[in-house]
């Protein structure tokens, strides 16, 4: 295994090593008389960059898809961010920095802040800021924004990372991408998937010389260097087979995830934005199984208001054809906010985070609950509390929800009185208290990422111990089985919203255990749907029990 597969397929071509063009930042200070003209230059540069991004967005919408085009809508919003532009202006006015240096400092500040977080999804948003700001710098300095457009032969592209802008302009000669950094949740990965380019991230093997013939197999995560003619012929056939497979997957878009013996599974997507919600529909999903609301807070310069939250949640809900499960604020741990000082903790992942933070800050919590409740008047919304560890926490959270409902009644605001309420099962204590917790909820969703980390005592992002992180560990499988058995007799539905659900082999086990819903990365919906449709539920039950009893 050479890395993590982003888009499964086979690419054949010559190695092309791409190194990001360095931008030389001038350090000269400006004089008092130059401040006004420098601010004017900033406004012009931002306007030009917006025009460029709008052209990107239109091109992507016409050639790839509406959901992918929204990546560049998000990039335009970054340019419109008053906090970011304010920092640049302060650098110019207060620090007398030249325009390029002022932008570079602001870029480094925000990229550094987000990159320090452990949450992979949020770290990838730092790459978006970097992409936008570097595009702005290149615009000002007159540098080429697309050095990869010279590729004119079948190519496997090797790079440290790619920006969304670079990825979107890759031509049809690029048959595969190998990145040493990046992740499956990055916007570059989303674009690569949409373009159908076999892609691997996390490649740590030896350097491949440019021009060397290679075969990239992202299905089995193999890289063949200087392949033989026999190997080339074999993989050329695989390329044809995979092209046919992709056509078959597209035909499943409107099909529901129902096994051969009629066991129906709700297949949803994990999202943090309106663009990803669109992607769920395009890939054949029927709802949002996890809406990460912390991104609304992290992208704001202050605590988002009730109306701001309502508008954001609505922009997501209107893009899907089914229910939307909204996870309440999961902040703390590695997820910090620029406008709030968290207490210093020896181990923040075991400290004041998620529901614990909300119950300590009930005004903030109730503002969010009111926004979600208002949305429930028009959309099939569910509320999900994260990191519940005890019955007492759940009861207190539900009390806050009742108080939010009462306040809306006083304000004559409509909401769904019977809005379904659920919890995340991601702490071992919640697994073994499921008989108590299930009496107070309509559904549960197992967050396998944190459940694995807390159960196995493994930081999956720490390369020294990451090999110990294993969602297939028998203890994790048995925990999921325990939760299902505790919920089924009471009619409480069980879902999975961790990365485990995106693995087709894991999906077989999960369905066999009796899980009702799988929420996965939107791009993985067709693959998971395919394995469900082609399976018999009774066979999967036998398979799952064989694993549990081994």
Model pTM? 0.73
**pLDDT confidence band for 141 (50 / 70 / 90):** confident
Q: Which residues contact 86 (CB under 8 A, 6 or more apart)?
A: none
Give me the mean pLDDT over the 17-21 stretch: 82
pLDDT at 266 over 80: yes
Q: What is the dihedral of CA 407, 319, 316, 247, to 10 degrees?
A: 150
Question: Residue 163's closest CA among 199, 188, 145?
Answer: 188
Query: pLDDT per residue over 488-508, tens digit each?
Result: 999 999 999 988 898 899 999
**392 is known to lie in a ligand binding site:** no
| Crossing angle of helices 474-487 and 537-548, rounded to 10° | 120
| pLDDT score for 146 | 63
Closest CA to 299 of 474, 125, 179: 125
What pLDDT sits at residue 65? 63
Distance CA 377, CA 414 (A): 6
Residues sharing a CB contact under 8 Å with residue 459, sequence separation 6 or more, in sequence order: 453, 465, 466, 469
Predicted confidence band at 66 (pLDDT cuts at 50, 70, 90)?
A: low
To the nearest whole percent, how much of the chain has pLDDT over 90?
Answer: 57
pLDDT above 90 (res 5): no
Highest mean predicted confidence (pLDDT) among 210-224, 296-310, 391-405: 391-405
What confidence category does residue 462 fall into, taking pLDDT thresholds of 50, 70 and 90? low
Comparing 83-87, 191-195, 375-379, the range with the smallest average pLDDT is 191-195
pLDDT of the residue at 279: 84
Residue ranges of domains in the chain, CATH in brackets: 24-141 (1.10.274.10), 147-248 (3.50.30.10), 253-549 (3.20.20.60)
Does pLDDT of 207 surpass 90? Answer: no
Model confidence pLDDT, tens digit, residues 527-542: 999 999 999 999 999 9
What would the pLDDT profile of 377-434 be if each residue is shown by its tens digit? 999 999 999 999 999 999 999 999 999 999 999 999 999 999 999 999 999 999 999 9
Flag whether 292 is marked binding. yes
Q: How far is CA 199 from CA 2, 171, 182, in A?
A: 11, 15, 11
**pLDDT greater at residue 126 or residue 307:** 307
Confirm whether residue 460 is marked as ligand binding.
Answer: yes
pLDDT surpassing 70 at residue 63:
no
Which of 98-112, 178-192, 324-338, 343-357 is predicted most confidently?
A: 98-112
Residues acting as catalytic residues: 187, 497
Asked if pLDDT for residue 145 goes beyond 80, the answer is no
Q: How far is CA 285 from each of CA 12, 256, 265, 306, 493, rounded to the nearest angstrom?
A: 31, 8, 11, 28, 18
Q: For the residues 182-206, what does the mean pLDDT come to?
A: 77
pLDDT class for 373, splitting at 50, 70, 90? very high
pLDDT at 246: 84
Given this model, what pLDDT does residue 326 score? 97
Q: Quick one: pLDDT at residue 69? A: 72
Task: With cut-offs at 50, 70 and 90, classify the pLDDT of residue 544.
Answer: very high
CA atoms within 13 A of residue 280's CA, in its CB half-sphere:
32
Sorting pLDDT into bands at 50, 70 and 90, what band is 161? confident
Task: Report the range out of 123-127, 308-312, 497-501 with the highest average pLDDT.
Answer: 308-312
Residue 239 vs residue 259, higher pLDDT: 259
537 or 162: which carries more pLDDT confidence? 537
Residue the block writes with tokens 């990803």: 276
How far apart CA 220 and CA 8 sit, in angstroms, is: 9
Distance between CA atoms of residues 168 and 191, nearest Å = 6
> Is the model more confident about 250 or about 523?
250
Span 81-99, average pLDDT: 92
Rounded CA-CA distance 132/138 in Å is 10
Residues 6+ apart with CB under 8 A from 260: 533, 534, 535, 536, 537
* Among the ranges given (189-193, 311-315, 388-392), the one the predictor scored with the smallest mean pLDDT: 189-193
User: How much is the average pLDDT of 509-523?
Assistant: 94
Across the range 422-447, mean pLDDT stands at 97
The pLDDT value recorded for residue 77 is 82
pLDDT > 70: percent of the chain: 94
Q: What is the mean pLDDT of the chain?
A: 89
Average pLDDT over residues 221-230: 93
Mean pLDDT of all residues in 15-28:
85
Has residue 543 got a pLDDT over 60?
Answer: yes
Collect all residues with Cβ–Cβ distance below 8 Å to 229 and sequence separation of at least 6.
none
Which residues are CB-contacts of 368 (< 8 A; sequence separation ≥ 6)? 293, 306, 309, 328, 329, 358
On whether 327 is known to bind a ligand per the annotation, the reply is: yes
């Amino acid at each position: 295994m050479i890395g993590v597969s982003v888009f499964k397929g086979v690419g054949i071509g010559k190695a092309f090593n791409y190194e990001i063009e360095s931008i030389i930042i001038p350090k000269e200070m400006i004089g008092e008389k130059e401040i006004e003209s420098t601010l004017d230059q900033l406004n012009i540069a931002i306007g030009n960059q917006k025009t460029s991004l709008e052209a990107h967005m239109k091109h992507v919408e016409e050639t790839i898809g509406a959901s992918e085009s929204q990546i560049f809508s998000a990039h335009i919003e970054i340019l419109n961010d008053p906090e970011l532009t304010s920092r640049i202006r302060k650098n110019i006015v207060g620090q007398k920095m030249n325009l390029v240096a002022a932008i570079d400092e602001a870029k480094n500040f925000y990229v550094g802040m987000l990159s320090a977080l452990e949450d992979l999804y949020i770290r990838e948003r730092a790459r978006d800021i970097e992409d936008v700001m570097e595009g702005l710098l290149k615009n000002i300095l007159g540098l080429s924004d697309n050095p990869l457009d010279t590729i004119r032969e079948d190519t496997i592209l090797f790079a440290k990372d790619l920006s969304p802008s670079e990825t979107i302009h890759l031509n049809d000669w690029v048959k595969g991408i190998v990145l040493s950094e990046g992740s499956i949740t990055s916007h570059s990965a989303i674009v690569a998937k949409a373009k159908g380019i076999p892609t691997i991230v996390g490649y740590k093997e030896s350097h491949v010389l440019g021009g060397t013939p290679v075969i990239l197999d992202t299905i089995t995560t193999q890289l063949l260097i200087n392949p033989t003619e026999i190997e080339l012929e074999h993989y050329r056939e695989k390329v044809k087979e995979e092209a046919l497979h992709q056509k078959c997957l597209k035909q499943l878009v409107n099909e529901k995830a129902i096994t051969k013996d009629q066991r129906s599974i709700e297949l949803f997507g994990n999202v943090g934005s309106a663009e990803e919600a669109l992607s769920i529909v395009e890939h054949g999903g029927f709802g949002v199984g996890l809406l990460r609301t912390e991104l609304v807070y992290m992208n704001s310069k202050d605590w988002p208001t009730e109306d701001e939250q309502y508008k954001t949640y609505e922009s997501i809900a209107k893009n899907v054809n089914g229910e939307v499960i909204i996870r309440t604020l999961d902040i703390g741990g590695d997820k910090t906010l620029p406008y709030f000082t968290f207490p210093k903790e020896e181990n923040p992942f075991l400290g004041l985070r998620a529901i614990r933070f909300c119950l300590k800050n009930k005004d903030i919590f109730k503002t969010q609950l009111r926004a979600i409740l208002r949305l429930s008047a028009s959309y099939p919304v569910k509320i999900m509390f994260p990191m519940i560890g005890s019955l007492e926490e759940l009861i207190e959270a539900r009390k806050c929800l009742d108080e939010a409902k009462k306040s809306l009644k006083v304000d004559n605001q409509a909401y769904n009185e019977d809005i379904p309420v659920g919890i995340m099962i991601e702490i071992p204590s919640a697994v073994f208290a499921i008989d108590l917790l299930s009496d107070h909820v309509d559904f549960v969703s197992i967050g396998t990422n944190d459940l694995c980390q807390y159960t196995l005592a493994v930081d999956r992002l720490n390369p020294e111990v990451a090999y110990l992180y294993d969602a297939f560990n028998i203890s994790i499988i048995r925990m999921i089985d325990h939760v299902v058995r505790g919920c089924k007799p009471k009619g409480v539905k069980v879902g999975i919203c961790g990365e485990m659900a995106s693995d087709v082999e894991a999906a077989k086990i999960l369905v066999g255990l009796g899980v009702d819903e799988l929420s996965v990365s939107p791009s993985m919906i067709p693959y998971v749907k395919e394995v469900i449709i082609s399976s018999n539920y009774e066979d999967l039950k036998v398979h799952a029990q064989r694993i549990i009893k081994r």
